[in-house]
Structure 1
Amino acid sequence: MEGCRIKVLSTEAKASAIVRQTKSEGVVTLYDILHKECPSLTDPQTALMVPTPYLATGLLQTIYATLRVRRRDSLSDVEYDRELLVMADGGTVSLDWFSADKDDQNQIQPIALIMSGVGGSSQEHHIRVLAKSLACSAAGFRVAVVNHRGTARTPITSSRPYDSGFTEDFRTTVKHVKALYSSSKLVAIGFSMGANILTKYIGEEGTRCPLACAVAVCCPFDIKVSSAAINESNLLNDHVIQPAVMSTLMRAIRRASHLQVDPAWNLDIERIQQAQRLSELESELMVKISGHRSLDEYYEQSSSANLVDNIQTPFLAINALDDRITPPQGIPTDKFMANPNISLALVPHGGHLGFLTGIPPRIWFIKPIEEFVSAIIR
């Protein structure tokens, strides 16, 4: 069991940031939240992630999670109400809303914003499970899944796609939701690339961030490290990850073919259409559209690791040590020991967005996310 124990990195108790102060509780710090209200992360008896016996490696965890991404079961049977949100440049994102009791929505009900990784959407199994879990929790969250441009059948109304460092769509979405529900506390959870966008956003916002807290799962803090891992030629990438990601992105590109492309981008359309791997698409499309001079500069400017020091919002990152897509060498662990507002849960097993435990496999990270966000807004 020792090999399955969770390790949490944060500042010491005396240095931890104050989350709230009330007459009944006194001063409550981030350290208090983690060690008193998140047993899944810190309790010596329960802070374990024991992988499903037949999914003992990160590779198997990742493949299994990818193959069951569309699975429907009693834990994920949610029906969304869709809202379309138009950005300043004419692009469109969609918000898929879910609440356990649609007849009991009020202006103070807490709201959880969830954002998927590249090519993902509200329809992924782990996102539907999390949405239902948060909505049915004691806190009773109203959930809004933020679908990136062109995903989940969101209309494509701008030739500018989303990318790893593009935070403006999420910033606009947060402002929109906050304007609609000004009395509601907002929390946010991001997965993979969505975790990088979320982390970068709260770092950019600093003290202005309107979120009560944020959770990043499998965050690729260093995009260059993660890109090297995902573009390496191996069984996982060549036959699972790259085909899944590229098919989604290329489908969106084809759907956007009727839109006028900015001549200033100087895109090689033929090269984009013939791209076989994500790095090829990034170098021709993302680099030019975002105005960077090279792929390395795009990776550097898109990496949320650069902004972790600026985070002023209670923040929890969950990363697996056997994740081949966002490997641990890209995690800025030293920064989690220095910034009193942030914490990092290192999980020995889990792969990329797997974290599957028990028989039949269930998703381990659902419980610690629910514990953390519920404790922060209490």
Structure 2
Amino acid sequence: MSFLVSPSALGVAALGTLGYLLRQRYIDGCRIELITSDPKTSAIVRQTESEGTVTLRDILFAKCPSLTDPELARMVPTPYLATGLLQTIYATLRIRLRDASSDVEYARELLTMADGATISLDWYPKIEGEGPVALVMSGVGGSSQEHHLRALAKYLAETSSAGFRVAVVNHRGTARTPITSARPYDSGFTEDFRSAVAHVRRRNPQSKLAGIGFSMGANILTKYIGEEGSSCILSCAVCVCCPFDISVSGAAMNKSNLLNNYVFQPAVMSTLMRAIKRAEHLTLDPNWNIDHERVRNAKRLWELEEQLLVKIGGYKDLNDYYVNASCTNYVDNIDIPYLAINSLDDRITPPHGIPMAKFAENPNMALALVPHGGHLGFLTGLPPKIWFIKPIDEFISSIFR
């Protein structure tokens, strides 16, 4: 007996096979690329009788499957968020989302800085306690109330085997923190974070401390670690979408395009302008020579940077500010286990600003390159879930074992 197969059935089968192969090719193209030093030079993280000598590479390849396992080290975007642009827009629009993964209530602590400024630490689940502490910083205009920070805080506190307490370090004037100084924060201003770390260390002398930074907060964290060098009291750090070179990210953020004109710039500027309005009761130093009219009418981030950050910080011009604020000048001095997670299709912190060669040269550093994550997106699955939370936990929990 013979069986006949119709041409239409063959066509459907061929299309199905082609679709499967294309899907597999796309998934394979979502593999994480890891850049770090070789086994012979990788920095020693710890030495114990049970484990022997454990290096940074050992941690990455044995304890961080989300970054190194041949089957698991992929960030496959949610089907309708397949590009960096879509990832970034979606993540920005849901920045205030509250769901089961992010329903946290913080305990607040206010700290006074040397110049009289106030910053806030939002703790989850509580201020007092034992065990490791993760100090977290958001990007420009951000705060502890952003969805990805709340989701990270809940996961580290409730799901992580290490049982972290999380302290989100809010920048001056953000998250309804009282504004008590005319000096704003900027991309390279590390003093507030340095004070926060010192405070948390005094309060928790036996606890290990980890730093986690996002976007501009990642630049501040990285610069701080480099400035501290071998004296850094953090045990490890993870940075997501770190700009590294502010000149590159500044140019990208101020381009006129769909993302900047209708999503990123309006979101950031509305937050900053509210903070400026809340600071109107403060007297500015006349030597700063601020053009108040230009500040009030600013539409782009660079205008505020030029009128406020450049003048208050004593920089020659915008380029001088960008160069001096960039953490890329400090990564050679990083002396603790450090992981950066960046996306290759990030339009806010483009990959050509990443000092990739330095991650192979400095034995304390590792860089995870994600093909399709956008800027602070990294959304995978249905419904969309934040991918980077798990590798962050894998890395810092393994360091703290």
Report the TM range for the smaller structure's normalisation. Answer: over 0.9
> How much has 1:264 moved relative to structure 2?
2.0
1:54 aligns with 2:77: no
Question: In the alignment, what sits opposite 1:120?
Answer: 142
Counterpart of 1:124, as a letter, is: E
Unmatched segments (≥5 aa) in structure 1:
none
In the alignment, the residues of structure 1 paired with residue 336 and residue 113 of structure 2 have an alpha-carbon distance, to the nearest angstrom, of 25
Question: In the alignment, what sits opposite 1:110?
Answer: 132
Counterpart of 2:345, as a letter, is: D
Q: Secondary structure at the match of 2:264?
A: helix
> How much has 1:274 moved relative to structure 2?
1.2
Query: Which structure 2 residues correspond to residues 181-200 of structure 1 after superposition, within 5 A?
Result: 181-200=204-223
Question: In the alignment, what sits opposite 1:149?
Answer: 172
> How much has 1:20 moved relative to structure 2?
0.7
Q: Secondary structure at the match of 1:4?
A: coil
Question: In the alignment, what sits opposite 1:5?
Answer: 31
Q: Deviations over 1:150-176 (max 9, x none)?
A: 111000000000010000000000000
1:344 aligns with 2:380: no
Which of residues 219, 223, 228 is equivalent to 2:246? Answer: 223
> How much has 1:138 moved relative to structure 2?
1.0
Which of residues 298, 307, 315 is equivalent to 1:275? Answer: 298
Q: Given the two structures, how large is their TM-score scaled by the length of structure 2? A: 0.92
In the alignment, the residues of structure 1 paired with residue 37 and residue 211 of structure 2 have an alpha-carbon distance, to the nearest angstrom, of 22
Greater Rg, structure 1 or structure 2?
2
Unmatched segments (≥5 aa) in structure 2:
1-26
Q: Secondary structure at the match of 2:212?
A: strand
Question: In the alignment, what sits opposite 1:76?
Answer: 102
Q: Deviations over 1:203-233 (max 9, x none)?
A: 0000010000000000010001001001000
Question: In the alignment, what sits opposite 1:332?
Answer: 355
Q: Given the two structures, how large is their TM-score scaled by the length of structure 1? A: 0.98
| RMSD between superposed Cα atoms in Å | 0.9
Query: Which structure 2 residues correspond to residues 172-187 of structure 1 after superposition, within 5 A?
Result: 172-187=195-210
Question: In the alignment, what sits opposite 1:233?
Answer: 256
In the alignment, the residues of structure 1 paired with residue 104 and residue 344 of structure 2 have an alpha-carbon distance, to the nearest angstrom, of 31
Q: Deviations over 1:35-84 (max 9, x none)?
A: 00000000001000000000000000000000001111111011100000
In the alignment, the residues of structure 2 paired with residue 339 and residue 140 of structure 1 have an alpha-carbon distance, to the nearest angstrom, of 30
Runs (4+) off by over 6 Å: none
In the alignment, the residues of structure 1 paired with residue 242 and residue 101 of structure 2 have an alpha-carbon distance, to the nearest angstrom, of 24
> How much has 1:263 moved relative to structure 2?
1.8
Q: Deviations over 1:334-366 (max 9, x none)?
A: 100100001000000100000000010000000
In the alignment, the residues of structure 2 paired with residue 74 and residue 267 of structure 1 have an alpha-carbon distance, to the nearest angstrom, of 45
Q: Calculate percent identity across the aligned residue pairs.
A: 71
In the alignment, the residues of structure 2 paired with residue 208 and residue 43 of structure 1 have an alpha-carbon distance, to the nearest angstrom, of 33
Question: In the alignment, what sits opposite 1:135?
Answer: 157
- Report the number of matched residues: 374
In the alignment, the residues of structure 1 paired with residue 368 and residue 289 of structure 2 have an alpha-carbon distance, to the nearest angstrom, of 43
